[in-house]
Amino acid sequence: MITQKMKYALKALLALADEAAKPRPEPLTIEEIARRSGTPKRFLEHILLEIRNAGVIASTRGRSGGYSLVKAPTEISISEMLRLIDGPIAPLPCLSRRAYQRCEDCADEAACRIRRVFAEVFWSYLVIIESLTLADMLRSDQVAEQVIGA
């Protein structure tokens, strides 16, 4: 399950991507991102700082300043954003690639039936989640609009 913080991050990125798709995109202020994404402004500052520090967005100071995408939506990995905002995505610490930890109560990882079952589910999840980008989320909006509008 993703956290509310991650949902806010994705909504903010989608608002920035929508702006970037315009013929003459402008940086968006935190207030404007909050308005467009329906996200509380008080949470956005910290979230946008994390995303900026990861090199996904940039901030510009001044009267016409704000935030804008640095990477194309096709280059913004949903799994990387999940890890950045929520931390490891594995259901067990012994399944994590980047934050691996042996389970304290496990005598034999190779024989652990809990690990084996969750590994199968997790690897299937990883195949899908690691293939998704922000562009996929933008396309899903377009598909939904076509279905609803039809």
Residues 64 and 12 in one domain: yes
Placement of tokens 């610490």 in the chain: 93
For position 101, what pLDDT does the model report?
Answer: 86
SS3 string, 38-82, reads CCCHHHHHHHHHHHHHCCCEEEECCCCCEEEECCCHHHCEHHHHH
- Single pTM value for the model: 0.84
Number of structural domains (the chain) is 2
For position 11, what pLDDT does the model report?
Answer: 96
* Residue 139 Cα distances to 19, 61, 74, 85, angstroms: 15, 31, 11, 23
Does residue 109 fall inside a structural domain? yes
Within 13 Å of residue 111, how many CA atoms lie on the same side as its CB? 4
With CA atoms as reference, report the closest residue to 32 among 20, 44, 47: 44
For position 148, what pLDDT does the model report?
Answer: 43
Q: Measured between alpha carbons, how far is 11 from 37 in angstroms, rounded to an integer?
A: 5
For position 144, what pLDDT does the model report?
Answer: 43
Q: What percentage of the chain's residues is helix, strand, coil (to nearest 5)?
A: 60, 5, 35
Whether the CB-CB separation of 26 and 19 falls below 8 Å is answered with yes
Residues 9 and 65 in one domain: yes
For position 48, what pLDDT does the model report?
Answer: 97
Residues 104 and 59 in one domain: no
Q: Measured between alpha carbons, how far is 83 from 27 in angstroms, rounded to an integer?
A: 26
Residues 10 and 57 in one domain: yes
Does residue 76 fall inside a structural domain? no
Residue 16's Cα: distance from chain center in Å? 13
Amino acid at 12: A
Range(s) of the domain holding residue 121: 89-144
Does residue 33 fall inside a structural domain? yes
Q: For the chain of 150 residues, list the mean pLDDT of each consecutive stretch of 10.
A: 94 96 94 95 94 96 91 96 94 88 87 91 92 91 47
For position 142, what pLDDT does the model report?
Answer: 53
Residues 8 and 61 in one domain: yes
In CATH, what number is assigned to the domain containing residue 42?
A: 1.10.10.10
Residues 56 and 28 in one domain: yes
